[in-house]
Structure 1
Amino acid sequence: MSNKVTFTGNVVNSPSRNRTQNGSVTNFRLASTERRFDTGSQTWVDGSSFFVDVECWGELGGNVSHSVSKGDPVVVVGTIRTHSWDSEEGRRSRPQIKAEAVGPNLARGTAEFRRPARAAAAASDEPVPPSEEEAPSTSDGLSEFLEGRDYEVGDGTLGEVNPSDLEPAHV
């Protein structure tokens, strides 16, 4: 049985990357605060907060340590479990998520995604040309959409994409 969860919240501390005998792991703490509408004051108010430790192994951990900072709003998907240990005060425990995916919460801001360099390319001293997906966009701003993958052209297309459609909305 898997205890798969998805949490949204803010990173409480700067992620720390450590090497163990089982590989590299990046850890950070996440605070997820309940928001509810108070009908009496007609405003949104904070409820209780839930704190959970997040561990990110392997390549995910490396990407998290280079991309996530204290205070960032994130979405974490993974398996939740109880981490237990013995201390001077007796048996202790706290919740922990073994993350499968971590990303920015785009409901709270924007992000720019970059793929890391491939390991084989990083090992050589030769420059690596960008892949089709990493290639810089043309001046029309539309080349980032790869026909057949991101944007289908055909009878069912709703309309043309104009460069102004791709600009961020000003609120």
Structure 2
Amino acid sequence: MTLSGNLTRDPQRRIGSRTGEPFAVLAMAVNSRRFDRETKQWVVTGTTYFDLLCWGRTGANVLASLHKGDPVVVHGRFRLNEWSSENGSGVNATIDVDSIGPDLTFGTAPFTRGSASYGLERVEEYNPGEPEDVQPDQEAPAAQEPEDDDPAHLADRDGVLDDDAAAEVLARSA
């Protein structure tokens, strides 16, 4: 099954009760939408929630890379997971993830080859806002000059490409 949606919370590190191996758990919301011809807008008609289980290196990389609110595309095996507690019982829709990544329909993302580990520390240094040592009335320090074949220099400070820049990136890849 392949789904696209948004993470509803930060990934969490868990330990398997049978294996003792670490893995990552995520929660994702998938909206059903339709186009309303009267208002000429897309309307959300329902939301389905999925638990995502990421094993091995995939789980470690997810912990180091993804955050609440990120749009993602997930491919994996669907199953229903029954549960019960003193407060009641229910069924969760669960995906055992084979592949996961950011949904580039909604933005751009850098990719770094390699793998993260399941160390107890998460990569919390990520901050898409201003650098901490910059005062609000100061300019941010100049970024390192990108390589000629790196399209990152075409993006604005939020990483968004305008139509002309996107056309240039597409032309380079042809």
- TM-score interval, normalised by the smaller of the two chains: 0.5 to 0.7
- Give the Cα–Cα distance (whole angstroms) in 2 for the partners of residues 69 and 138 of structure 1: 26
- Distance in 2 of aligned mates of 1:40 and 1:14: 37
- How many percent of aligned residue pairs carry the same amino acid? 34
Cα distance in 2 between the residues matched to 1:16 and 1:93? 20
Q: Extract unaligned runs of 5+ from structure 1.
A: 120-136, 143-162
How many residues get paired? 129
Structure with greater Cα Rg: 1
Please say if 1:170 is aligned against 2:168. no
In structure 2, the CA distance between the partners of 1:7 and 1:117, relative to structure 1 (3 Å rule), is closer
Over the residues paired in the alignment, what is the CA RMSD in angstroms? Answer: 2.6
Tell me the TM-score normalised to structure 2 length.
0.66
Alignment of 1:1-171 (within 5 A): 5-20=1-16, 21-22=18-19, 23-88=21-86, 90-116=88-114, 139-141=147-149, 167=154, 169-171=161-163
Q: 1:57 to 1:118 in 2, by over 3 A?
A: closer
Q: Secondary structure at the match of 1:69?
A: coil
Name whichever of 16-25 and 30-39 sits farther off. 16-25
From the superposition, tell whether residues 138 and 51 of structure 1 become closer, same or farther in structure 2 (CA, over 3 Å).
closer
How far residue 167 of structure 1 moved from its aligned partner, in angstroms, is: 4.0
Q: Is the 8 A contact 2:76 2:95 kept in 1?
A: yes
Q: What's the counterpart of residue 133 of structure 1?
A: none
List runs of 5+ in structure 2 lacking aligned partners: 118-144, 156-160, 164-174
CA displacement, residues 140-159 of structure 1 (integer Å, 9 cap, x when unaligned)? 327xxxxxxxxxxxxxxxxx
Letter matched to residue 25 of structure 1: F
- For 1:82-106, what per-residue CA distance to the aligned partner results, in whole angstroms no more than 9, with x for missing partners? 1112323554211100000110000
